[in-house]
């Protein structure tokens, strides 16, 4: 099968370090990009993806941000799905009870109430700086302009995240996708979208999911890997992801995506 579209997750997959693609990856993408459309698919915000597009020489291609909640092609907005302020109020109330900090994301805006080690890590890895603002103020402003969040990040301890995750599943799992990024982090996104739904939206009339090869490592990549023509897990992927993948390549730190491209595309 000749794949005309390559979709790849970034963190833990295409990125060899925490924030950058390697020269080997750039070289392999360069080799195939004239015949294969390269679409980056991530939980990241646009600003945190554009520099990677630039490094890969694919700035003209669309990007799928926030796990599918925002799709952009250059300055053109293809699709946007938000978490409403009513839902955000519920999340914020729950987070305050557990002393969990929120990060709110909308388009290229990222709001947090205070600095922390986690915020500094995110800033370093994504090359984007947050705006420090009271969450109540942000929600009031968003309510006035009928905006919302494309993504919410909950930052707590393992204990507080365990409790919050359980409560969120009970109260909001019908309307939100709730991802456990690690022991202390929870990501929330609108339920009606996913990486897979966003890929479907970008398919042209003569294209199907069978034309797509995809790469990923985490729970939010499972649908994409399962339903595209060929789904490849990197060696550092979660076991659940490896089980559903068509094949497993090397770890992201060993240029797994580039290695697979070199061997098979």
The reported pLDDT for the residue numbered 182 is 84
| pLDDT single digits (tens) 19-47 | 999 999 999 999 999 999 999 999 999 99
Return d(Cα 92, Cα 85) in angstroms, integer. 10
What is residue 1's predicted lDDT score, i.e. its pLDDT?
72
- Residues of CATH 3.30.1240.10 domain(s) within the chain? 85-190
pTM for the whole structure: 0.94
* Chain region(s) in the chain for CATH 3.40.50.1000: 5-80+193-264
Give the Cα separation of 131 and 247 in Å (integer). Answer: 41
Please identify every stretch of the chain with a pLDDT value under 50, giving residue numbers as ranges. none
* Domain 5-80+193-264 coded CATH 3.40.50.1000: yes
Neighbours of 134 (CB within 10 A): 11
Exposure on the CB side of residue 189, measured as CA atoms within 13 A = 21
What distance in Å separates the CA atoms of residue 65 and residue 18, rounded to the nearest whole number? 17
* Burial status of residue 79 (CB atoms within 10 A of its CB: 0-12, 13-18, 19 or more): middle
CATH class of residue range 85-190: alpha beta
The confidence score (pLDDT) of residue 181 equals: 80
């Amino acid at each position: 099968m000749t794949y005309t579209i390559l979709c790849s997750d970034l963190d833990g997959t295409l990125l060899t370090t925490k924030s950058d693609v390697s020269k080997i990856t750039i070289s392999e993408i360069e080799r195939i990009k004239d015949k294969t459309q390269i679409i980056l698919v991530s939980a990241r915000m646009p600003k945190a993806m554009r520099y990677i597009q630039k490094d890969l020489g694919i700035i003209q291609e669309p990007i799928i941000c926030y796990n599918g909640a925002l799709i952009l092609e250059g300055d053109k907005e293809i699709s946007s799905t938000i978490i409403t302020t009513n839902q955000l109020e519920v999340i914020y109330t729950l987070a305050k009870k557990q002393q969990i900090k929120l990060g709110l994301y909308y388009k290229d805006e990222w709001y947090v109430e205070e600095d922390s080690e986690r915020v500094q890590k995110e800033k370093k890895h994504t090359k984007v700086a947050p705006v420090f603002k009271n969450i109540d103020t942000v929600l009031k402003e968003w309510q006035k302009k009928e905006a919302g969040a494309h993504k919410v990040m909950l930052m707590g301890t393992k204990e507080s995240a365990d409790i919050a995750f359980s409560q969120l599943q009970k109260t909001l799992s019908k309307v939100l996708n709730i991802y456990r990024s690690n022991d202390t982090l929870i990501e929330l996104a609108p339920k009606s979208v996913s990486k897979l739904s966003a890929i479907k939206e970008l398919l042209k009339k003569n294209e199907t999911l069978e034309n797509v090869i995809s790469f990923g490592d985490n729970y939010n990549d499972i649908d994409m890997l399962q339903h595209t023509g060929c789904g490849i897990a990197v060696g550092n992927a979660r076991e659940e992801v490896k089980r559903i993948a068509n094949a497993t390549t090397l770890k992201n730190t060993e240029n797994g995506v580039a290695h697979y491209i070199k061997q098979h595309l």
